[in-house]
Each structure stands twice: as C-alpha cells, then as structure tokens.
Amino acid sequence: MDKEQLISRLNWFYSLELNQVDLYKSQSKAFENEYAGLVFEQLSSIEQGHVENIGIKIKELGEKPTTIGDVLSPFIGHIAGKILGSRDLPEVLKINTMIEQKAMKDYKGLIEDLKNSDYGSGELIKILQNNFIDENLHTEWFKTKLSELQTVEFSLIP
Ligand SMILES: [Fe+2]
Ligand SMILES: [Fe+2]
C-alpha cells in the first residue's frame, strides 16, 4: 500500500463516519422522546470523534480530508432512504447493525494491511483499533435493544 492508497482508504472512512454522524443525528430526532433517541445522539457524537481522528491522520499525511459523499447507499441501497427518519425502531436497529459491521470489516482490513505497510505507524493502528472497538460496542447495543423489542413483541404482555 502506498501513501496515495492509504489516503484514499482513510478518506473512505472519513466519509463513512460523516455519513454515520448524520444518520444518528436524524435518528435521534426521529426517536426524540425515547431512550433510543438519547443513545443515537450520543452515538452521533462518538462518530464525530471518529471523523476527527481520521481527519487528523489524513492531514498528517499532508492531505486535506475529503468527503467522497454518500458511501452508505451503495451497500444498503434502496433501504437508505426508507430509514432516514423512520420510526420503525427494529428496522433502524437492523440497518444500523449492518452499517456498523461494514465499518468493522473495513477497519479490520485496513489494520491488517497496515501491519505490512511502511505507513503502518503504531499510532494509526491504535486509532483504527479504538474506532473498531467503538463500532463493536454500538453493534452490541443495537443487538441487545433489538432482542429486547422482539422479546416484548413475542410475549403475551397485556
Ligand atoms: Fe465510527
Ligand atoms: Fe459506530
């Protein structure tokens, strides 16, 4: 991996994280009066932290962080429009999980590649690992919440 390739991969994360900031912000409004809304608001600010830590790394490589636009739609396709502002929490949680898992998969790929690259500074790898761990924790909350909702759905509570 050369420097250009690393910058372009970091820009992909920069865009993905920005997309997630917006996504969770809109979800925090859609679920304003619920605990989930508070969680989405907090997730949005954690993703903002990722935008910033990736942005700093791009700058250290001598480039300006550049968004490549909407990177979510290509892999969640037509569902993307549907969930923006959706009030269907189980659906939102499922799609959020898909997005977080995509982020985790790509972070893992970059971490592996960096271990064999000239640009794989320990510091950069650490940042990517920490972002990965955050996405992992987000995924776990989504799964827990989804299973809680499904438990209620399939039980005979009056
Ligand atoms: Fe993130
Ligand atoms: Fe996340």
Residues 76-121 have pLDDT tens digits of 766 655 666 578 999 999 999 999 999 999 999 999 999 988 777 8
What distance in angstroms lies between residue 17's CA and the mean position of ligand 1's atoms? 5
* Predicted model pTM: 0.91
**Rounded Cα–Cα distance for residues 43 and 68 (Å):** 22
Which of 105, 107, 99, 100 has its CA nearest to residue 126?
107
Shortest-distance ligand to the CA of residue 53: 1
Q: Which ligand is nearest to the CA of 135?
A: 2
Candidates 90, 100, 88; CA nearest to 144 is 90
Least Cα distance to 20 among 44, 53, 55, 54 occurs for 44
Q: Domains of the chain, with CATH numbers? A: 3-153 (1.20.1260.10)
